Amino acid sequence: MASSTPDYPYFAPRYVLASVAVSIGGLLNGFDTGSIGAITRMSQFTDSIDQLSATMLGITVSMIMLTGTLPSLFAGHFADKFGRLAVIIPGVLFFGTGALLQCLAHNLGMFIAGRAIAGFGQGIFLSNVSVYICEIAPLRHRGALAGLPQFMSTAGVCFGYFTCYGTVTIKSDIAWRFPYIVQCAFCIILVWSCLLLPDSPRWLMLKGRQADARQALMKLDYPMVEAERDFLATPEQPLGLSMRQSFMLLFRRGYRARTILALFILGMVQLSGIDAVVYYAPILFEQAGISSTNASFLASGLSSILMLAISVPAFLLADKWGRRTSAISGGIILASCMFLMGSLYAAGVVHPYGFARWIVIISVFVFGLCYCSTWGIVGKIYASEIQPSHTRAAASCVAMGLCFGTNFVVAIVTPILLEASAFGAYFLFGGLALGTVAVLYAYMPETRGRSLESIQEAFHRPTALSGGVAQLLRPLGLSAGPRRRVHPAPHEPAAGEEVEMQPRDAAEAIAASAISVDTVPMALRLDVSA
């Protein structure tokens, strides 16, 4: 057996280098996010394409998310069938084709078509990047490495802003076309990297290819002792499900709670308003009183630098601070920032002069910093690591599909809301963030410091809400022992066991869905057996 502490031929273990390489996918996502808002504000763009109304601006910016929603739903099935890297590569090629089309566009229709193709590719590769890293990262480094795509996305936002800031003074249309040349270059690098990397060892084990899995582990410098303990000694049997069955399995007993929690987290992370901040930062700063184009671009760039700076310690310390603590505390700060800005605009005290505008500008900075150090890091890590191996890709991709859908909604409605009301959008996003905190407090188990194979046990325990409610009801005599119902332990498929995909009979379905008054305290638990 290979030593658990090998002499690495490079400055870091190769699982780290592989994680950095595939995280270029996150950089692509962030670069587009950081550049599109600035590009559409350039006079060179309006001269080449057209002046965009608030509605058309929202459609143009959000098209990349709309077309990314559908492929995200089935990308996980193909990743389970053909491998994580085998799906990432064609997705990146689609994205590069879309970037090239945007670069060569001479009218709005061609530009939007390019964004649609890029979004289709992004929907295919983006969620599988996180799945691949999550599966090749050892336990003690999983939080930091699985957070790399989000860190690279933040770096991409910063890079995108300053690429546009550097080209805005160019008089020709190359000012807005150059960022798409950069995107095409990154696509080439990412495809080349994926061709050199080994497949996920966990996916290879799921396919029964143990020899290939061991070879991949050695190529990645993965600790063999940990691999033997966690998944080599107990290989899982592939389920061989169709696309429809893979999707339906996510919502079957034993998987439903984890799927819904992943969907909720990734969806609400985007509905916090972060895309409004990064896509439309120049507009937000102009609204706050920074009127010149160069000044608003510079303020947006400064915001992205600070977001990148805070992301460095955030992803390095991702395994030092609990996922649950980070999510809840971050949500409270995000909601507070939104409510503060909304209140100032509602009071009519924000002007191009005076102290209030600086509170708004600082609040935008604080919001971005808090998101990048909490929700931005935790969301994608948590959604991937809480899934069993045979549903991890499918569940992560479906959750990413919802993420794209919510991104689309935020991107398309934000300019319309800002044009109709100076404060409505802030109260909306603040309320959503605060509601998310309440749900996470009730139903989010901690996963830090646990192997992927043992995390599932956290979902078989009572949550904070169920215990708290039971204590409150006990003095009233509403949580007496005879009223408690004992639930069987959640069942997960064993090796070689078939998964029943047919509906249960009507009587069983009605019995399973019935909730009596006597079982209310138990119903408040995160119980995957119901």
- Decide if 244 contacts 369 (C-beta within 8 A): no
pTM, rounded to two decimals: 0.68
Say which range, 173-187, 218-232, 298-312, 460-474, has the weakest mean pLDDT. Answer: 460-474
CA gap 121, 68 in Å, rounded = 7
Q: Tens digits of per-residue pLDDT, 72-94?
A: 888 877 888 888 899 999 999 99
pLDDT bucket at 477, cuts 50 / 70 / 90: very low
Which of 91-105, 269-283, 294-308 has the highest average model confidence (pLDDT)? 91-105
**Minimal CA–CA distance to 445: which of 328, 346, 366?**
328
- Segment 330-364, tens digit of pLDDT: 999 999 999 998 898 888 887 777 788 888 888 88
Q: What is the pLDDT of residue 291?
A: 61
The CA distance from 174 to 44, in Å, is 8
Tell me which long-range contacts 461-469 makes (C-beta under 8 A, separation of at least 24). Answer: 462/525, 462/526, 463/524, 463/525, 463/526, 465/441, 465/524, 465/525, 466/521, 466/522, 466/524, 466/525, 466/526, 469/521, 469/524
Structure tokens belonging to residue 14: 């190769």
> What's the confidence (pLDDT) of residue 505?
43
Give the model confidence (pLDDT) of 195-226 as tens digits: 999 998 888 888 888 888 889 888 888 888 88
Residue 44 above 80 pLDDT? yes
- Amino acid type, 492: E
* Residue 236 in this model has a pLDDT that exceeds 50: yes
As a whole number of Å, the CA-based R_g of the chain is 24
- φ, ψ for residue 336 (rounded to 5)? -65, -40
Taking CA atoms, 360 is separated from 90, 284, 345, 427, in Å, by 42, 9, 9, 14
Angle ∠(158,53,362) on CA atoms, nearest 5: 40
In percent, how much of the chain has pLDDT > 90? 20
| Both structure tokens of 74 | 């089935």
- For CA atoms 295, 299, 300, 305, the dihedral sign is positive
User: Distance (Å, rounded) from C-alpha 255 to C-alpha 266?
Assistant: 17
